[in-house]
Protein backbone atom coordinates (compact mmCIF):
# COMPACT_ATOMS: atom_id res chain seq x y z
CA UNK A 1 0.00 0.00 0.00
CA UNK A 2 1.54 3.28 -1.12
CA UNK A 3 0.96 6.56 -2.89
CA UNK A 4 1.94 6.05 -6.52
CA UNK A 5 1.12 9.45 -8.01
CA UNK A 6 2.07 12.48 -5.92
CA UNK A 7 1.14 15.93 -7.19
CA UNK A 8 3.58 18.61 -6.04
CA UNK A 9 2.37 22.22 -6.22
CA UNK A 10 5.41 24.43 -6.87
CA UNK A 11 3.86 27.90 -6.75
CA UNK A 12 5.04 28.87 -3.26
CA UNK A 13 8.37 30.10 -4.60
CA UNK A 14 9.89 30.94 -1.22
CA UNK A 15 9.47 27.29 -0.19
CA UNK A 16 10.72 25.77 -3.44
CA UNK A 17 13.74 23.98 -1.86
CA UNK A 18 11.53 22.49 0.89
CA UNK A 19 8.89 21.38 -1.61
CA UNK A 20 11.50 19.66 -3.75
CA UNK A 21 13.07 18.04 -0.68
CA UNK A 22 9.63 16.71 0.30
CA UNK A 23 9.13 15.29 -3.18
CA UNK A 24 12.50 13.53 -3.03
CA UNK A 25 11.69 12.01 0.36
CA UNK A 26 8.18 10.91 -0.61
CA UNK A 27 9.19 9.62 -4.03
CA UNK A 28 11.84 7.42 -2.44
CA UNK A 29 9.63 6.38 0.48
CA UNK A 30 6.72 5.20 -1.66
CA UNK A 31 8.51 4.58 -5.00
CA UNK A 32 6.07 7.13 -6.38
CA UNK A 33 5.82 9.15 -9.56
CA UNK A 34 6.16 12.87 -8.81
CA UNK A 35 3.95 15.11 -10.93
CA UNK A 36 5.22 18.65 -10.57
CA UNK A 37 2.70 21.42 -11.19
CA UNK A 38 3.47 25.09 -11.76
CA UNK A 39 0.59 27.41 -12.54
CA UNK A 40 0.85 30.72 -14.33
CA UNK A 41 -2.44 32.43 -13.47
CA UNK A 42 -4.54 34.48 -15.82
CA UNK A 43 -4.83 38.24 -15.56
CA UNK A 44 -7.21 39.28 -12.78
CA UNK A 45 -10.18 41.22 -14.15
CA UNK A 46 -12.17 43.45 -11.81
CA UNK A 47 -15.64 44.74 -12.73
CA UNK A 48 -15.88 48.36 -13.76
CA UNK A 49 -16.55 50.77 -10.95
CA UNK A 50 -19.20 52.79 -12.76
CA UNK A 51 -21.36 53.08 -15.85
CA UNK A 52 -19.35 53.42 -19.02
CA UNK A 53 -15.99 52.75 -17.42
CA UNK A 54 -13.73 49.94 -18.52
CA UNK A 55 -12.98 47.00 -16.17
CA UNK A 56 -9.73 47.08 -14.23
CA UNK A 57 -6.96 44.56 -14.89
CA UNK A 58 -4.16 43.29 -12.65
CA UNK A 59 -1.38 41.26 -14.24
CA UNK A 60 1.15 41.41 -11.39
CA UNK A 61 0.68 37.80 -10.26
CA UNK A 62 0.89 36.52 -13.82
CA UNK A 63 4.12 38.41 -14.46
CA UNK A 64 5.59 37.24 -11.15
CA UNK A 65 5.10 33.57 -11.97
CA UNK A 66 6.19 34.00 -15.58
CA UNK A 67 9.44 35.51 -14.31
CA UNK A 68 10.10 32.56 -11.97
CA UNK A 69 9.20 29.83 -14.45
CA UNK A 70 12.74 29.00 -15.59
CA UNK A 71 14.03 28.86 -12.01
CA UNK A 72 11.28 26.45 -10.93
CA UNK A 73 11.66 24.18 -13.96
CA UNK A 74 15.43 23.92 -13.57
CA UNK A 75 15.33 23.31 -9.80
CA UNK A 76 12.61 20.66 -9.98
CA UNK A 77 13.86 18.72 -12.99
CA UNK A 78 17.48 18.72 -11.81
CA UNK A 79 16.54 17.42 -8.37
CA UNK A 80 14.28 14.66 -9.70
CA UNK A 81 16.97 13.46 -12.11
CA UNK A 82 19.61 13.44 -9.37
CA UNK A 83 17.28 11.43 -7.14
CA UNK A 84 16.51 8.97 -9.94
CA UNK A 85 12.75 9.42 -9.51
CA UNK A 86 9.96 8.98 -12.00
CA UNK A 87 8.57 12.46 -12.68
CA UNK A 88 6.96 14.87 -15.06
CA UNK A 89 6.32 18.59 -14.86
CA UNK A 90 3.23 20.46 -15.99
CA UNK A 91 3.60 24.20 -16.48
CA UNK A 92 0.03 25.36 -16.96
CA UNK A 93 -0.86 28.70 -18.50
CA UNK A 94 -4.14 28.85 -16.66
CA UNK A 95 -7.43 30.36 -17.63
CA UNK A 96 -8.08 31.00 -13.94
CA UNK A 97 -6.87 34.08 -12.08
CA UNK A 98 -6.79 32.05 -8.86
CA UNK A 99 -4.05 29.44 -8.69
CA UNK A 100 -6.13 27.23 -6.40
CA UNK A 101 -8.81 26.66 -9.05
CA UNK A 102 -6.27 25.25 -11.49
CA UNK A 103 -4.61 23.06 -8.85
CA UNK A 104 -8.00 21.56 -7.94
CA UNK A 105 -8.57 20.63 -11.59
CA UNK A 106 -5.12 19.04 -11.85
CA UNK A 107 -5.41 17.10 -8.57
CA UNK A 108 -8.17 14.65 -9.48
CA UNK A 109 -5.88 11.83 -10.58
CA UNK A 110 -3.35 12.11 -7.74
CA UNK A 111 -3.07 9.77 -4.77
CA UNK A 112 -1.67 12.61 -2.66
CA UNK A 113 -1.21 16.34 -3.13
CA UNK A 114 1.73 18.12 -1.51
CA UNK A 115 1.81 21.87 -1.06
CA UNK A 116 3.28 24.47 1.24
CA UNK A 117 1.40 26.47 3.77
CA UNK A 118 1.16 30.15 2.90
CA UNK A 119 3.03 33.00 4.51
CA UNK A 120 0.03 35.09 5.51
CA UNK A 121 2.26 38.09 6.17
CA UNK A 122 3.21 38.45 2.52
CA UNK A 123 3.19 35.39 0.28
CA UNK A 124 3.98 36.43 -3.29
CA UNK A 125 1.30 35.74 -5.86
CA UNK A 126 -0.59 32.94 -4.09
CA UNK A 127 -4.02 33.79 -2.72
CA UNK A 128 -4.10 33.92 1.08
CA UNK A 129 -6.85 31.29 1.43
CA UNK A 130 -5.29 28.95 -1.14
CA UNK A 131 -4.72 26.02 1.26
CA UNK A 132 -8.15 26.19 2.92
CA UNK A 133 -9.99 26.39 -0.40
CA UNK A 134 -7.95 23.57 -1.87
CA UNK A 135 -8.43 21.18 1.07
CA UNK A 136 -12.20 21.60 0.80
CA UNK A 137 -12.49 21.38 -2.97
CA UNK A 138 -9.87 18.81 -4.02
CA UNK A 139 -11.43 15.59 -2.76
CA UNK A 140 -7.88 14.25 -2.32
CA UNK A 141 -5.63 13.87 0.73
CA UNK A 142 -3.45 16.96 1.09
CA UNK A 143 -0.07 17.04 2.80
CA UNK A 144 0.50 20.61 3.99
CA UNK A 145 4.11 21.52 4.72
CA UNK A 146 4.93 24.23 7.25
CA UNK A 147 6.00 27.55 5.82
CA UNK A 148 9.30 27.59 7.69
CA UNK A 149 11.87 25.06 8.81
CA UNK A 150 13.40 21.90 7.40
CA UNK A 151 11.25 19.07 6.11
CA UNK A 152 11.50 15.58 7.62
CA UNK A 153 8.92 13.12 6.32
CA UNK A 154 10.24 9.92 7.87
CA UNK A 155 6.98 9.89 9.81
CA UNK A 156 8.14 7.50 12.50
CA UNK A 157 5.79 9.05 15.06
CA UNK A 158 2.34 9.94 13.72
CA UNK A 159 -0.40 11.67 15.66
CA UNK A 160 -3.99 11.30 14.46
CA UNK A 161 -6.53 13.85 15.68
CA UNK A 162 -9.55 11.65 16.23
CA UNK A 163 -13.10 12.96 16.70
CA UNK A 164 -15.28 10.01 15.57
CA UNK A 165 -16.48 12.08 12.60
CA UNK A 166 -16.64 11.39 8.86
CA UNK A 167 -13.68 13.63 8.15
CA UNK A 168 -11.53 11.91 10.77
CA UNK A 169 -12.27 8.47 9.36
CA UNK A 170 -11.48 9.56 5.83
CA UNK A 171 -8.22 11.17 6.91
CA UNK A 172 -7.07 7.99 8.66
CA UNK A 173 -7.66 5.79 5.63
CA UNK A 174 -6.19 8.40 3.28
CA UNK A 175 -3.08 8.34 5.47
CA UNK A 176 -2.69 4.52 5.54
CA UNK A 177 0.51 4.53 3.43
CA UNK A 178 2.13 6.70 6.11
CA UNK A 179 0.62 4.77 9.00
CA UNK A 180 1.81 1.34 7.88
CA UNK A 181 5.39 2.66 7.73
CA UNK A 182 5.27 4.47 11.09
CA UNK A 183 6.88 3.09 14.22
CA UNK A 184 4.00 4.36 16.33
CA UNK A 185 0.57 5.79 15.60
CA UNK A 186 -1.19 7.68 18.37
CA UNK A 187 -4.96 8.26 18.13
CA UNK A 188 -5.61 11.41 20.14
CA UNK A 189 -9.05 12.57 21.21
CA UNK A 190 -9.68 15.76 23.14
CA UNK A 191 -11.88 15.91 26.27
CA UNK A 192 -13.68 12.58 25.85
CA UNK A 193 -12.72 10.91 29.13
CA UNK A 194 -15.56 12.49 31.17
CA UNK A 195 -18.06 10.80 28.87
CA UNK A 196 -16.63 7.43 29.80
CA UNK A 197 -15.98 6.22 26.25
CA UNK A 198 -13.02 5.59 23.99
CA UNK A 199 -14.31 6.62 20.57
CA UNK A 200 -11.00 5.68 18.94
CA UNK A 201 -11.24 2.01 20.01
CA UNK A 202 -13.00 0.89 16.85
CA UNK A 203 -10.49 2.64 14.63
CA UNK A 204 -7.61 1.11 16.61
CA UNK A 205 -9.04 -2.34 15.92
CA UNK A 206 -9.40 -1.57 12.21
CA UNK A 207 -5.82 -0.34 12.00
CA UNK A 208 -4.59 -3.42 13.85
CA UNK A 209 -5.92 -5.53 10.97
CA UNK A 210 -3.59 -3.57 8.71
CA UNK A 211 -0.71 -4.45 11.02
CA UNK A 212 -0.66 -0.95 12.51
CA UNK A 213 -0.23 -0.85 16.26
CA UNK A 214 -1.78 2.19 17.86
CA UNK A 215 -1.85 4.00 21.17
CA UNK A 216 -5.14 5.58 22.22
CA UNK A 217 -4.72 8.84 24.13
CA UNK A 218 -7.29 11.21 25.54
CA UNK A 219 -6.01 14.68 26.36
CA UNK A 220 -7.69 17.53 28.18
CA UNK A 221 -7.81 20.93 26.61
CA UNK A 222 -7.16 22.86 29.84
CA UNK A 223 -8.99 25.85 28.41
CA UNK A 224 -7.23 25.75 25.05
CA UNK A 225 -8.95 25.17 21.73
CA UNK A 226 -8.96 21.68 20.21
CA UNK A 227 -6.50 22.83 17.55
CA UNK A 228 -4.08 24.18 20.15
CA UNK A 229 -4.46 21.00 22.19
CA UNK A 230 -3.66 18.72 19.23
CA UNK A 231 -0.57 20.70 18.25
CA UNK A 232 0.60 20.65 21.87
CA UNK A 233 0.08 16.87 22.00
CA UNK A 234 2.03 16.45 18.76
CA UNK A 235 4.95 18.34 20.26
CA UNK A 236 4.73 16.49 23.58
CA UNK A 237 4.83 13.09 21.86
CA UNK A 238 7.46 13.98 19.29
CA UNK A 239 5.19 13.51 16.29
CA UNK A 240 6.67 14.19 12.88
CA UNK A 241 3.31 14.08 11.13
CA UNK A 242 -0.24 15.00 12.13
CA UNK A 243 -3.27 13.44 10.41
CA UNK A 244 -6.47 15.44 10.65
CA UNK A 245 -9.96 15.51 9.20
CA UNK A 246 -10.58 18.99 7.82
CA UNK A 247 -13.64 21.17 8.33
CA UNK A 248 -16.00 18.94 10.27
CA UNK A 249 -18.22 22.00 10.55
CA UNK A 250 -19.06 24.33 7.70
CA UNK A 251 -16.23 26.60 6.64
CA UNK A 252 -18.40 29.59 7.54
CA UNK A 253 -18.81 28.29 11.09
CA UNK A 254 -15.06 27.76 11.39
CA UNK A 255 -14.37 31.27 10.13
CA UNK A 256 -16.84 32.86 12.55
CA UNK A 257 -16.25 30.77 15.66
CA UNK A 258 -12.76 29.47 15.00
CA UNK A 259 -12.07 25.79 14.49
CA UNK A 260 -9.55 23.00 14.52
CA UNK A 261 -8.65 23.26 10.83
CA UNK A 262 -8.34 27.01 10.90
CA UNK A 263 -6.09 27.01 13.97
CA UNK A 264 -3.85 24.20 12.74
CA UNK A 265 -3.32 25.81 9.33
CA UNK A 266 -2.29 29.05 10.99
CA UNK A 267 0.11 27.52 13.48
CA UNK A 268 1.43 24.22 12.11
CA UNK A 269 5.17 23.70 12.39
CA UNK A 270 5.24 20.06 11.25
CA UNK A 271 3.63 18.46 8.19
CA UNK A 272 -0.12 17.85 8.44
CA UNK A 273 -2.09 15.48 6.26
CA UNK A 274 -5.67 16.70 5.85
CA UNK A 275 -8.75 15.21 4.20
CA UNK A 276 -12.22 16.65 3.87
pLDDT band for position 254 (cuts 50, 70, 90): very low
The SS3 of residue 273 is strand
pLDDT tens, residue by residue, 48-92: 555 555 555 678 889 999 999 999 999 999 999 999 999 999 999
The model carries a pTM of 0.90
Average the pLDDT over each of 113-117, 122-126, 256-260 and give the range with the smallest value: 256-260
pLDDT band for position 95 (cuts 50, 70, 90): very high
Nearest to 65 by CA among 89, 40, 43: 40
* Structural domains of the chain, ranges and CATH numbers in brackets: 5-145 (3.40.50.620), 157-275 (3.40.50.620)
Check whether 252 has a pLDDT greater than 90: no
pLDDT tens, residue by residue, 175-190: 999 999 999 999 999 8
**How far is 60 from 62, CA to CA, in rounded Å?**
5
Average the pLDDT over each of 29-38, 138-147, 194-203, 254-263 and give the range with the smallest value: 254-263
Check whether 255 has a pLDDT greater than 50: no
Question: Other CB atoms closer than 10 Å to residue 120's CB: what's the count?
Answer: 11
pLDDT band for position 28 (cuts 50, 70, 90): very high
HSE, CB side, 13 Å, CA atoms: give it for residue 224.
16
The SS3 of residue 147 is coil
- Mean pLDDT within 116-125: 77
Q: What is the end-to-end Cα distance of the chain in Å, rounded?
A: 21
Percentage of the chain lying above the pLDDT 70 cut: 88
Average pLDDT, whole number, for the chain?
Answer: 88
pLDDT band for position 112 (cuts 50, 70, 90): very high
- Mean pLDDT within 180-202: 82
Amino acid sequence: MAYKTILLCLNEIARLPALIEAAEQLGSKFKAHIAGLYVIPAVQVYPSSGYGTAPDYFDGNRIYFQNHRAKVVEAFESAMKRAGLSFDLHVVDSGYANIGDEVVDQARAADLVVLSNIDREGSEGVESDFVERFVIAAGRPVLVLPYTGKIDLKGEQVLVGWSDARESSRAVFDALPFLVKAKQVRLVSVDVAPRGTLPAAGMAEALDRHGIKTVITDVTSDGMSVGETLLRAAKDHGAGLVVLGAYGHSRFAEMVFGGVTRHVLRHLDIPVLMSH
